[in-house]
């Protein structure tokens, strides 16, 4: 199980000052917890592209932001991500929830096909997430349990070493 | 209606230690007037996100004022950001919208709603405490000194004549120094400058 308590403890351990993003069903509990947390400033945006640009400004101003969005929003905000965190080489960790992750069990482990993107039993945004991250050269790790929280700490460290954003994919609903 | 010079030259004269984020057709024009280390050319603004970058800076640096020089085409790409800025109560953010009703750097194609969109009214409706619009150069210059020190967020829409700026590019031969070097170099220089001043 992945809990808000473990995530908030981890964010504080790595010094996160601001969380910027948009909630979905699997991150709803995290957004409620962030809204009540006195140590991390929550900025809820109207579109995901805003999240990347706002996080970039926060980092340039000396803060340590985290982006929290759904995979649908990542695709919507592709150019904002390219034009800010990637192009500016900013060490920001982005949590991306994996809508449709379980539906991927219905497809073979082979290159994606046009037919699969319109199948009713496969969520196309799930099928496109990891290929998109690889195309954008964005390092990523899957997190689905409290025991995986160490991956967030490692991602922040890598972001700092590489001066480059890192993605943590949230593959389970946060409780 | 103002010329680009009537818009930017008074601002350059009144500017002191504010961070200035410029985008698209305003990048070179501002760079010709200012060589300040807190100028940042957000060249293509990642398609309409200059005001959100400025919001992040304003929240991170509450003791310092942040000026964003945006175009109307860019602003139209992310109007929702006005709601976010108002919600965050970024009191130190001043957002200028240069309203020439065209996509200038691609050859002055007409923007949607050209001539009809009232950005200051949109800002008020989103919750901005202060918003202005100007189409007269003397009125604008008279009001500018006061506007720069209001408790914001503030939006200032300025009606401009269409210009002929080409797309802003980053290259070593640019005559405006802040366009030399990569966006990453410029970003990390701005962060270093802000760190040194604290």
Q: What confidence score (pLDDT) does residue B170 get?
A: 86
CA of B34 vs chain A CAs: smallest distance (Å): 20
Q: What confidence score (pLDDT) does residue B163 get?
A: 83
Nearest to A60 among B49, B78, B194 (CB): B194
Residue A121: both structure tokens together: 């039993």
Burial state string for B53-67 with b = 16 or more CB within 10 A and e = fewer than 16: bbbbbbbbbeebbbb
Q: Do the chains contact at A60 and B183, CB–CB below 8 Å?
A: no
Are A128 and A122 in contact, with CB atoms under 8 Å apart? no
Q: What confidence score (pLDDT) does residue B197 get?
A: 72
| Residue A86 contacts B where some CB pair is shorter than 8 Å | no
Cis, bond preceding B153 (omega within 30 deg of 0): yes
Q: Which has the closest alpha carbon to B97: B149, B35, B140, B46?
A: B140
* Percent composition of chain A: helix, strand, coil (DSSP 3-state, to 5): 50, 15, 35
Which are the contacts of B120, defined by CB distance < 8 A and separation ≥ 6?
B131, B132, B133, B155, B156, B157
Helix (H, G, I), strand (E, B) or coil at A158: helix
Q: Do the chains contact at A61 and B47, CB–CB below 8 Å?
A: no
Nearest to B184 among A18, A53, A89 (CB): A89
Are A18 and B62 in contact, with CB atoms under 8 Å apart? no
- Write the pLDDT tens digit of every residue in B84-108: 999 999 999 999 999 999 888 888 8
Nearest to A83 among B47, B60, B78 (CB): B47
- Write the pLDDT tens digit of every residue in A33-44: 999 999 999 999
All residues of chain B having their beta carbon less than 8 Å from the beta carbon of residue A86 are none
Which domains are delineated in chain A? 4-104+111-170 (3.40.50.970)
All residues of chain B having their beta carbon less than 8 Å from the beta carbon of residue A20 are 56
Q: Do the chains contact at B53 and A54, CB–CB below 8 Å?
A: yes
Are B71 and B100 in contact, with CB atoms under 8 Å apart? yes
Q: Do the chains contact at B184 and A79, CB–CB below 8 Å?
A: no
Ranges under pLDDT 50 in chain A: none
Measure the CA–CA gap between B116 and B51, rounded to whole angstroms: 21
Q: Do the chains contact at B84 and A46, CB–CB below 8 Å?
A: yes
Q: CA separation (Å) from B140 to A43, B25, B56? A: 33, 20, 27
What is the overall mean pLDDT for chain B?
94
How many CB atoms within 10 Å of residue A119? 14
All residues of chain B having their beta carbon less than 8 Å from the beta carbon of residue A54 are 52-53, 55-56, 59, 84
| Residue B57 contacts A where some CB pair is shorter than 8 Å | yes
Q: What confidence score (pLDDT) does residue A17 get?
A: 98
Q: What confidence score (pLDDT) does residue B198 get?
A: 65
Cis, bond preceding B32 (omega within 30 deg of 0): no
Nearest to A50 among B49, B184, B190 (CB): B49
Q: How many residues does chain A have?
A: 175
Residue A46: both structure tokens together: 């109207």
Are A139 and A92 in contact, with CB atoms under 8 Å apart? no
Q: Do the chains contact at A61 and B78, CB–CB below 8 Å?
A: no
- Write the pLDDT tens digit of every residue in B142-180: 999 999 999 999 999 999 998 888 888 888 888 788 888
* β strands within chain B, DSSP E: 19-23, 39-42, 66-71, 93-99, 102-103, 109-110, 130-134, 154-159
Which 79-108 residues of chain B touch chain A by CB within 8 A? Answer: 80-81, 83-84, 87-88
Q: Which has the closest alpha carbon to B123: B101, B146, B94, B144?
A: B94
CA of B84 vs chain A CAs: smallest distance (Å): 6
Pinpoint the alpha helices (H) of chain A: 4-13, 28-36, 48-60, 71-76, 78-81, 124-135, 150-162
- Write the pLDDT tens digit of every residue in B16-40: 999 999 999 899 999 999 999 999 9
Side-chain-side CA neighbours of residue B2 (13 Å)? 23
Are A126 and A99 in contact, with CB atoms under 8 Å apart? yes
| Residue A87 contacts B where some CB pair is shorter than 8 Å | yes
Helices (H) and strands (E) in chain A, counts: 7, 6
Q: Do the chains contact at B49 and A53, CB–CB below 8 Å?
A: yes
| Residue B53 contacts A where some CB pair is shorter than 8 Å | yes
**The domain defined by B4-197 carries CATH number 3.40.50.970:** yes
CB pairs under 8 A between A and B: 120
Residue B91: both structure tokens together: 């009191």
Q: How many residues does chain B have?
A: 198
CA of A160 vs chain B CAs: smallest distance (Å): 13
Q: Do the chains contact at B56 and A82, CB–CB below 8 Å?
A: no
């Amino acid at each position: 199980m992945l809990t808000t308590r473990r995530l908030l403890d981890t964010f504080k351990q790595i010094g996160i000052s601001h969380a910027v993003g948009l909630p979905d069903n699997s991150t709803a509990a995290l957004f409620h917890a962030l809204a009540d947390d006195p140590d991390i400033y929550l900025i809820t945006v109207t579109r995901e592209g805003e999240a990347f640009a706002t996080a970039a400004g926060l980092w340039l101003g000396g803060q340590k932001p985290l982006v929290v969005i759904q995979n649908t929003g990542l695709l919507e905000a592709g150019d904002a991500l390219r034009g800010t965190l990637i192009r500016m080489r900013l060490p920001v960790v982005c949590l991306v929830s994996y809508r449709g992750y379980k539906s991927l069990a219905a497809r073979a482990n082979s290159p994606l096909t046009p037919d699969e993107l319109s199948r009713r039993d496969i969520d196309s945004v799930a099928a496109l997430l990891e290929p998109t991250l690889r195309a954008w050269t964005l390092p990523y790790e899957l997190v689905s349990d409290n025991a995986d929280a160490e991956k967030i700490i490692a991602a922040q460290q890598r972001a700092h070493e590489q001066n480059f954003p890192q993605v943590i994919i949230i593959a389970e609903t946060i409780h | 209606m103002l010329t680009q010079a009537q818009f930017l030259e008074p601002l350059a004269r009144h500017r002191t230690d504010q961070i200035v984020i410029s985008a698209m057709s305003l990048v070179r024009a501002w760079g010709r007037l200012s060589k300040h280390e807190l100028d940042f050319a957000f060249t293509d603004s990642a398609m309409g996100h200059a005001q959100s970058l400025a919001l992040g800076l304003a929240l991170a640096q509450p003791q310092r004022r942040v000026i964003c020089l945006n175009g109307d085409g860019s602003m139209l790409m992310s109007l929702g950001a006005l709601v976010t800025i108002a919600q965050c109560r970024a009191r130190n953010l001043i957002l200028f919208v240069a309203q020439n009703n065209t996509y200038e750097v691609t050859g002055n194609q007409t923007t949607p709603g050209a001539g009809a969109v009232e950005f200051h009214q949109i800002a008020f409706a989103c919750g901005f405490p202060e918003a202005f619009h100007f189409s007269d150069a003397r009125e604008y210059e008279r009001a500018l000194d006061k506007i720069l020190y209001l408790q914001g967020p503030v939006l200032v829409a300025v009606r401009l004549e269409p210009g002929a700026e080409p797309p802003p590019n980053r290259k070593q031969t640019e005559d405006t120094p802040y366009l030399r070097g990569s966006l990453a170099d410029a970003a990390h220089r701005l962060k270093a400058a802000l760190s040194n001043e604290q």
